[in-house]
Every structure is written in C-alpha cells, then in structure tokens.
A = this chain, B = another copy of it.
Amino acid sequence: MVLLALYLVAITAEAMTAALAAGRRDMDWIGVCIIACVTALGGGSVRDVLLGHYPLTWVQHPEYLWITAGAAMLTALIAPVMRRLRSLFLLLDALGLVVFTVIGCQIGLEMQLPITVVLISGMITGCAGGVLRDVLCNDIPLLFRKELYASVSVVTGVLFIGAQALALHSDISMLVAMTIGLAMRMLALRYNWQMPKFVYRDEWR
C-alpha cells in the first residue's frame, strides 16, 4: 500500500532531521537514537494516548523503532554529506508532515470522532513529534515560531476531511490533500512565508 510506503519514508526522514538536531546538542549515540524515535513516533503516540487508541503503533510494529534508530545512526555516520542534501531533506520533512497529518485524520475518522477532533488528531500526528524533539533539546518549539508548519497541517487536514465528506475515493482525497499541503509547505520555505506574529511585551504576571 502506498500510504505505508510513504509512512516509512516519513519516519525515516523525521529520524534523520532529529539526529541532526541531537548532534547540534552534542548528544551521545543513545541520545541520538532516543531523540529520533521520539520525533518520528512521538506524534502518533501522543495522539493515541489522548484518544485512548491502544495499542500504540510501535508496540504493534516494533520494527519501526529499529528503522528509526537505524536511520539516526546512519545520519550520524554520514553527517558531513548531509549538508549537500539539504533540499532533499526539506522535501522529505514536508512529505512527513502531510503523510502524518492524513494518517492522523484517518484514525480520527475511523474512531468516528467529532470533525474538530479529527482535525486535531491530524495536527497532533503531524506536529507533536517535532514539539517533543524541541522540548527535549531545550528549545522553544520551532512549530510555534517559524514558517507555515502547523498551518500546512491544518490545511492538509481540512482538505482531506472535506474531500472525504464529498464522498471522494479515499485515495483521491489523500492525493489532493497531500499534494496541496506539500506545495504550500515548499512555497512557504522558498518564499519565506510566515504567519503574522503576536508580539507582546509586559512584565507583569
């Protein structure tokens, strides 16, 4: 199935970018593997825990843990080459975002949750892994500050849910939502699109 293949590409890409983030913090090899697993599989885990959707993906498919940890180790080994692959990485990372979002929405629809919660399920799957990575690396989550990341997830989710509501075939809904989401993310990166920021300065509280 195409979605499974895309999912595997997505967790691999997430694991690789997470390994680079861990390397920036001088983590040791085990730290690198843990950060990679948390980033790649954490979004789905947070979703499943919040929705009570047991067992978690990696409990059923422990091979995903090995794929993720393996990708992270490989990244640490060939890190000097990584710089040249920047564009490929950004593309794979964006692909991961839209694939995770669609999978999260699908699970929400299967559980027959309210439509808002389906959308949130997609967002959490797409974005929470990166937030966990940033919290563990002691950064302010990028998600909240840079470029259209969460917004791409929202748009992808809305398109997918909308297409499903119009009774389009599931594969077509997916394709449409993921293509537009991916294009939006790549354009945002290319032209440095940003959401307006809310800047507030005041020291009381």
Binding site for B on A (CB under 8 A): 17, 19-32, 34-35, 45, 49-52, 54-56, 58-59, 62-63, 65-66, 76, 79, 82-83, 86, 89-90, 113-117, 120, 131, 135-141, 143-145, 150-151, 154, 194-202, 204-205
Please determine whether A117 and B59 come into contact, CB atoms closer than 8 angstroms.
yes
Q: Pick the contact of A58 from B117, B136, B195, B204 — CB < 8 Å? A: B117
* Distance in angstroms between the alpha carbons of A138 and B54 in the assembled complex: 30
Query: Would you give the shortest CB distance from A203 to chain B, in whole angstroms?
Result: 9
Can you tell how many copies of this chain the complex includes?
A: 3
Complex interface: chain B residues within 8 A of A114 (CB): 59, 62
Expressed in whole angstroms, the Cα–Cα distance for A29 and B151 within the complex equals: 10
Residues of chain B within 8 A (CB-CB) of A131 are: 136
| Residue in B24, B62, B120 whose CB lies within 8 Å of A117 | B62
| Interface contact A79-B141, CB-CB below 8 Å | no
Interface of A: prevailing SS: helix
Is the pair B199, A26 in contact by a Cβ cutoff of 8 Å? yes
Residues in B neighbouring A89, C-beta threshold 8 A: 205
